[in-house]
Amino acid sequence: MDNEKLNRKKQKATMKDFRRAVKSLKAYRLPIVFSVVLAVVSVVLSIFIPKILGDITNIAIATFPEVDFATILQKVGLVLGLLLPSALAGYIQNLILVRISAKYTRNLRNQIFDKIAKLPIAYFDKHQYGDTLSRMTNDIETINNSMSTVISNLATSVTTLIGTMVIMLSISLPLSLVAFIVVPLSVLVVGKIMGRAQKFFLERQNMLGKLNSEIEEDYSGLLIIKSNSHEMQSKADFDEANEKLAKVTAKAQFLSSLSFPVTHIFTNFGYAAVVILGGVLTINGALTIGALQAFVQYVSRFNRPITEVASSTSMMQGLLAATQRIFQFLDETEEAPDFQPAKKIEKIKGEVGFHNVNFSYEKDKPVITDFSVKVKPGMKVAIVGPTGAGKTTIINLLMRFYEPTSGYITIDGTPIAEMQRTDERKLFGMVLQDTWLFNGTVEENLRYGKHSATHADIVKAAKAANVHHVIEALPKGYKTEISEDSDNISAGEKQLLTIARAMVADPPMMILDEATSNVDTRTEQMIQDSFEKLTTGRTSFVIAHRLSTIRNSDLILVMKDGNIIEQGNHDTLLALGGFYAELYNSQFADT
Q: What is the pLDDT of residue 283?
A: 84
472 has a pLDDT exceeding 80: yes
Highest mean pLDDT among 220-224, 255-259, 281-285: 281-285
Cα distance between residue 295 and residue 277, in whole Å: 12
Domains and CATH numbers, the chain: 22-330 (1.20.1560.10), 352-590 (3.40.50.300)
8 has a pLDDT exceeding 70: no
Reference 385, options 205, 561, 560, 149; nearest CA is 560
C-alpha angle 294/295/299, rounded to 5°? 120
pLDDT in tens, 512-541: 876 555 556 666 677 777 777 777 888 999
**Region at 92 (left for phi over 0; alpha for psi -120 to 50; beta for the rest):** alpha
Q: Helix crossing, 173-180 with 182-220: angle to 10°?
A: 40
> Pick the residue with more confidence: 448 or 11?
448
DSSP annotation of 482 reads: E
Cα distance between residue 137 and residue 20, in whole Å: 21
For residue 343, the cross-strand partners are 419
Average pLDDT over residues 307-324: 72
Do 172 and 287 form a contact (C-beta atoms < 8 A)? Answer: yes
Q: How confident is the model at residue 10 (pLDDT cuts 50, 70, 90)?
A: low
Cα distance between residue 263 and residue 564, in whole Å: 72
DSSP annotation of 135 reads: I
pLDDT in tens, 54-102: 888 888 887 777 777 888 888 888 888 888 998 999 889 888 988 888 8
- Within 8 A by CB and 6+ apart from 377, the residues are 349, 350, 351, 539
pLDDT in tens, 475-500: 889 998 886 555 667 777 888 888 88
Q: What is the pLDDT of residue 512?
A: 85
329 has a pLDDT exceeding 80: yes
Q: What is the pLDDT of residue 413?
A: 92
DSSP annotation of 339 reads: P
Cα distance between residue 591 and residue 589, in whole Å: 5
Q: What percent of the chain has pLDDT over 90?
A: 10
Q: What is the pLDDT of residue 483?
A: 63
Neighbours of 539 (CB within 10 A): 25
Q: Which helix (H) or strand (E) holds 512?
A: strand 509-513
For residue 478, the SS3 value is helix
Do 175 and 295 form a contact (C-beta atoms < 8 A)? Answer: yes
Q: What is the pLDDT of residue 355?
A: 94
Mean pLDDT for the chain?
Answer: 81
327 has a pLDDT exceeding 60: yes
Q: What is the pLDDT of residue 184?
A: 62
Reference 241, options 327, 142, 134; nearest CA is 134
Cα distance between residue 415 and residue 343, in whole Å: 9
For residue 419, the SS3 value is strand
Q: What is the pLDDT of residue 9?
A: 64
pLDDT in tens, 538-580: 899 988 777 777 888 899 988 888 788 888 888 899 989 888 8
Q: What is the pLDDT of residue 404?
A: 92
Q: What is the pLDDT of residue 173?
A: 86
The alpha carbon of residue 506 and the mean position of all alpha carbons in its chain are separated, in whole angstroms, by 34
Return the HEC string of 34-64. Answer: HHHHHHHHHHHHHHCHHHHHHHHHHHHHHHC
Q: How confident is the model at residue 409 (pLDDT cuts 50, 70, 90)?
A: very high
Cα distance between residue 216 and residue 213, in whole Å: 5
Q: What is the pTM of this model?
A: 0.68
Q: What is the pLDDT of residue 591?
A: 46
396 has a pLDDT exceeding 80: yes
Reference 400, options 380, 423, 377; nearest CA is 423
CA 539 → CA 191, 272, 511, 585, distances in Å?
A: 66, 87, 9, 28
CA 425 → CA 371, 409, 445, 511, distances in Å?
A: 21, 13, 19, 11
Q: How confident is the model at residue 459 (pLDDT cuts 50, 70, 90)?
A: very high
pLDDT in tens, 144-197: 888 888 888 777 878 888 888 888 888 888 888 887 776 666 666 666 666 676
Q: How confident is the model at residue 50 (pLDDT cuts 50, 70, 90)?
A: confident
CA 165 → CA 158, 235, 300, 473, distances in Å?
A: 11, 57, 12, 79
DSSP annotation of 510 reads: E
Q: What percent of the chain has pLDDT over 70?
A: 85
Q: Is the dihedral of CA 381, 385, 388, 389 positive or negative?
A: negative
Cα distance between residue 309 and residue 66, in whole Å: 45
Q: Is the dihedral of CA 39, 41, 43, 46 positive or negative?
A: negative
Residue type, 220: S
Sheet holding 380-384: strands in order across? 428-432, 509-513, 539-543, 380-384, 555-560, 563-568
Cα distance between residue 104 and residue 98, in whole Å: 10
Q: Which of 86-90, 228-232, 248-252 has the weakest average pLDDT? A: 228-232
pLDDT in tens, 337-388: 888 898 988 889 999 999 999 998 887 788 888 888 899 999 999 998 887 7
Neighbours of 71 (CB within 10 A): 14
Neighbours of 365 (CB within 10 A): 7
Cα distance between residue 159 and residue 182, in whole Å: 18
Q: What is the pLDDT of residue 1?
A: 44
